Amino acid sequence: MSGAARCRPDPASAPSACDLLVIGSGAGGLSAAVTAAHLGLDVVVVEKEPHFGGTTAWSGGWMFIPRNPLARAAGIDEPAEEPLRYLREIAGAEAADSPRMRAYLAQGPAMVQFHLDHTALRFVDGNAIPDFHGHVPGAREGGRSVCAAPFDAGLLGAHMARLKPPSPLLAFMGMSIGGDLRHFVRAARAWDSFAYAARRVLRHVWDVARHGQGRLRMGGNALVAALLRSALDARVQLFERHAAESLIVESAGPPDAAASSRAGRVVRVVGARLRTPAGPVEVRARRGVVLACGGFPHDTARKAALFAHASSGHGHWSAAPPGNTGDGLRLAETACAAVDTTGADAGAWAPVSLVPLSPVLSIASTPATIESQLASPSASGAPGVEPGSVCGGALGSSVGAFPHLVERGKPGLIAVDRDGRRFVDEAGNYHGFMRALLARSAERHAGRPVEAWLICDHRFQRRYGLGHSKPRPLPTRWHRRVGYLQQADTIEALAQRCGIDAAGLVRTVAACNAHARQGRDPEFGRGETPYDRMQGDAEHGGPNPCVAPIEHGPFYAVRIVPGSLGTFAGLACDEHARVLDAQGAPIAGLYAAGNDMASVMNGHYPSGGITLGPAMTFGYILAHHAAGRALDRVEAEQEAGEPAAAALCANPSGAAQTSEPVDTAHCAAPAIPAARAGLSQTTPSSASESTTP
């Protein structure tokens, strides 16, 4: 039976009532929707953008799920305490031993098994994917992650047009690329990769001719596609271009010790008011509302409050979709929710480079010219969005933020500051890279824009590419013409083009080359951890897969600026994903998932997939709570000697509802530090006109 035939068509606008209303359509929201529908709830998903998928659709699709079924089937069966030992070292004992972390680790494997048993989602194992911090006790070289398996979006039938396309900056010819990236990089120097890439291109061209877009989806795009197929099969009602304007908050009777209250009455969220193409709609949700709006990477006011390196709200460039403007946090704050900002970092940092996209910027000759163009107030008029910010390259925008996640680990590249000095193990994880750059900038370049440069030679650029500039056989002329890719015949001349201290850069390159010929990096230990080596090139002829000299001109550079893949600060939640108020009491009927929920890792980045893993897992957990269904006691809890993660009440929504509205204009002062006083709690602004790792 075709995908279109297996689902009922959605009406033009959302219904007036449902059991569970999910606002947002990334992994967290769709995981909650699919699970809740399987448990018998009537579920509605609303998305303000024209397509479903959120940040997830532009991500790599990896999920950090220790002790997952795929790892255990392969014989990787670590004790339940072992992931906690590692997480205590990275996130701290308080976060690692919290009820929320325990619930996540206990139910993550159950979430994976649920999807294997009941949905269209399939996984590939991460049994060879190391943790980020290989020198830390408890780190493993694999077995703690899974990724969405490739998915044929044609199974969505007519609904394929509702799926967010791959990121324009990260896709090649519009193709969704995931674990097969190495074949595209090697295509000009290995026949097996050339044959693979050729087959994929031909298939993609055929699909575009027949369907208007490619059918094969990978990574996060495959994850969303499989969840959408599963949602349709479970009769979840899906509505794009439906923006949540406000929550419907009512009184639910006298307060008790465990409920959020205001003026002697229990606060309960009973629905939301939406702005739809058909006009305003009010949707009542009998079991609750789920906020899964993608965090606040493009909320200028909240970035100014929480990002120390971007105190004006600008100067930070996220690779997340531009529609992620903090809607979920603002909605929750109107119901007296607390925003937890106590984590080590408020964002999931990543180095990005700015790719000019508009006709105005395409004639720029230097990065300084690009920056001055982007600083113009006319660069963007989208409310709440940084001027010029595109994040991933939406059509019609002026600049794209390209995340540097792959090439930094390859041999023959270094990162330097204005002084021409290195500051980090370039092959290490992206969050750690940015932490080091921010620290160096604060130490030596305070008061100046945060930036660094990736430096390589001609051999490197043609073999691996550099940022958005692709390897052989694709040309580099356009990237050089617009000033994205700087080129010079000598290291001194390259430094002068980039505004780097020339003597400093010459000394750094000479010292690195001397050690690189021996496969060593005594300054930062590049190539010494399993994660570094995975990021390197196993086919490199030297003794270290991450180290090689920079000596074959011409030489190239790309400027790096502060960026992120999403945000870590978010709504305070308990182990059931219920949103908490300033006193730590749950707000009845209000849940959060994905980046709207404060990071369970306390603002740290222990491994890849620590955003999507919790998003999928807490979507699964909250659906059980909303349905009044107990989660299974899993083996992980029994081995760890912990109680079951969910002895759930039969009435998760709280006390019986009354029709009395609640005034939340004077919520109690938060016990958990929130954003800067005076931060707007108005209803979300309209979505920017844009298309999200």
Question: Which pLDDT score, from 0 to 100, does residue 425 have?
Answer: 98
Q: Specify the higher pLDDT residue, 680 or 181.
A: 181
> Pick the residue with more confidence: 691 or 664?
664
Categorize the per-residue pLDDT at 209 as very low, low, confident or very high, splitting at 50, 70 and 90: confident
What's the pLDDT at 265? 52
Whether residue 671 has pLDDT greater than 60 = no
Report pLDDT digits (tens) over 286-317: 999 999 999 999 999 999 999 999 989 888 99
Judged against a pLDDT cut of 70, whether residue 232 lies above it is answered with: yes
202 burial (CB, 10 Å; 0-12 / 13-18 / 19+) is exposed
Report H helices in 278-322: 300-306
- CA diameter of the chain: 76
Q: What is the mean pLDDT of residues 362-382?
A: 37
What's the confidence (pLDDT) of residue 262?
Answer: 53
Q: Is 443 helix (H, G, I), strand (E, B) or coil?
A: helix
pTM: 0.87
User: So what's the pLDDT on residue 480?
Assistant: 95
User: Would the pLDDT of 467 be above 50?
Assistant: yes
Q: Is the pLDDT of residue 505 over 70?
A: yes
- Amino acid 602 reads N
pLDDT of 427-436, one tens digit each? 999 999 999 9
Of 172-176, 616-620, 665-669, least confident by mean pLDDT is 665-669
Q: What is the C-alpha separation between 426 and 404, in angstroms, rounded?
A: 11
% residues pLDDT > 90 (the chain): 71
CA 582, 586, 588 angle in degrees (round to 5)?
A: 125
pLDDT for the residue 140 = 97
DSSP letters spanning 208-265 = HHHHSS--EE-HHHHHHHHHHHHHHHTT-EEEES-EEEEEEEEE-SS--TTS-EETTE
Reduced to 3 states (helix: H, G, I; strand: E, B; else coil), residue 63 is strand
Q: Kindly report, residue by residue over 432-451, the tens digit of the pLDDT.
A: 999 999 999 999 999 999 99
* Helix%, strand%, coil% for the chain, nearest 5: 30, 20, 50
| pLDDT at residue 673 greater than cutoff 80 | no
Confidence of residue 10 (pLDDT cuts 50, 70, 90): low
Whole-number average pLDDT of the chain: 85
In degrees and rounded to multiples of 5, residue 488 shows phi and psi of: -155, 160
DSSP H or E stretch at residue 638: helix 635-640
pLDDT interval class at 192 (50, 70, 90): confident
